[in-house]
Amino acid sequence: MLASNSRFSSPEGAPFCLNSLENRVFDLRLEDGSHIISKFYRPGRWNREQILEEHHFLQDLKEEEIPVCTPFLFENESSLSLFQKGIYYSFWPRVGGRSPDELNPENLRILGRLLARTHNIGQAKHFEHRITLDSETYGIAPLETLLKGEWIPPSCKKDYLEVANRILDLFREKIETVPLHRIHGDCHKGNLLFGKEGWFFVDFDDCLKGPAVQDFWMLLSRGKEELEEREHILSGYREFREFKDAWFDLVEILRAMRFIHYSAWISSRFTTDPSFPVAFPHFAGNEYWEKETLELKEQYKLIYDSLGGKNFFSVTESTSTEEELTNKDFFGDLED
């Protein structure tokens, strides 16, 4: 624990490893009985400037009394330090609370107000190094990762890529008039804590420049409850910030893009991280991709029907005997 000892008094006992598939996060008990959290960032995912932009965004939010956690500063007044071999680390206060199973109307209104204030602060400055949620970062790049790794089996490849590209076309059309600014980026119930002092936002690891609705849709139920929940969260949000109803057209499109992005994330670690084959045992099999292709088709049908159009093709397993398309048919810079 050399990294820990460089900033704080000696830890007492063994560190407790917290659940995280991306970074390495430890709960450390110090000699005085207090606890801190140490976070070691996975090399190659975010560079130093990108991590610091996350920390600066959190500091901006905290200064305006948004309930977030900010990292401790080291002696050089930086919140980030280099451990070894490109591994950056930071220290954080430990916060208590539990993630909600459900959100009642009052919870949603409160969270709507907090998100509006978060987005007002997010709009005040710009990210220079963090990514933007666009068709390249959340669509084309993940598809290229899947194609280069040859993860999609031939039986699914044509249909999967066709529907994925149609979804990206719809995204490009709908995002044109939607403002983009600094957002949480991964705002779901697991990244909310409720404790003695109320609500708390955690894990800004995926913060980026994106549309406000990205911070809404993962908090809402699907089905009949969604419209009612949407009204509650918007009633709070609109007390502090404008939100146009048309921006909700992006919700199901963003959900579909998350399917693609998530599969690419698994693929990027499946052969290098021993925990991933254990956590996702079916990923390399045809069954996983048949299910993913079907779900993506169903999601596309839902998107297109919700926008008042007709679905381009029925959601059934492909029985096509046409010649299989190659990687180069979809991305000109890729060889077969």
203 labeled part of a ligand binding site: yes
Cα–Cα distance, 71 to 56 (Å, whole number): 10
Cα–Cα distance, 131 to 138 (Å, whole number): 10
One-letter-per-residue 3-state SS of 113-152? HHHHHHHHHHHHCCCCCCCECCCHHHHHHHHHHHHHCCCC
Please enumerate, as own/partner, the contacts of 265-272 that have beta carbons within 8 Å and a separation of 24 or more: 265/142, 267/145, 267/146, 267/149, 267/151, 268/145, 269/21
- Encoding tokens for residue 238? 């609109």
19 labeled part of a ligand binding site: no
Cβ neighbourhood burial of 73 (10 Å; 0-12, 13-18, 19+)? middle
Q: Is residue 205 annotated as a catalytic residue, yes or no?
A: no
- Helices 286-306/251-270 angle, 10° precision: 160
Q: Is residue 169 annotated as a catalytic residue, yes or no?
A: no
- Encoding tokens for residue 287? 């069954």
**What stretches of the chain adopt beta strand conformation (E)?**
16-18, 24-29, 35-40, 81-84, 87-93, 181-183, 192-195, 198-201, 208-210
Cα–Cα distance, 70 to 154 (Å, whole number): 47
Cα–Cα distance, 79 to 308 (Å, whole number): 49
Q: How far apart are the first and last CA of the chain?
A: 46
Q: Which of 60, 134, 159, 203 is catalytic?
A: 203
Q: Which residues are annotated as a binding site for Mg(2+)?
A: 191, 203
Q: Which residues are annotated as a binding site?
A: 191, 203
Residues assigned a catalytic role:
186, 203
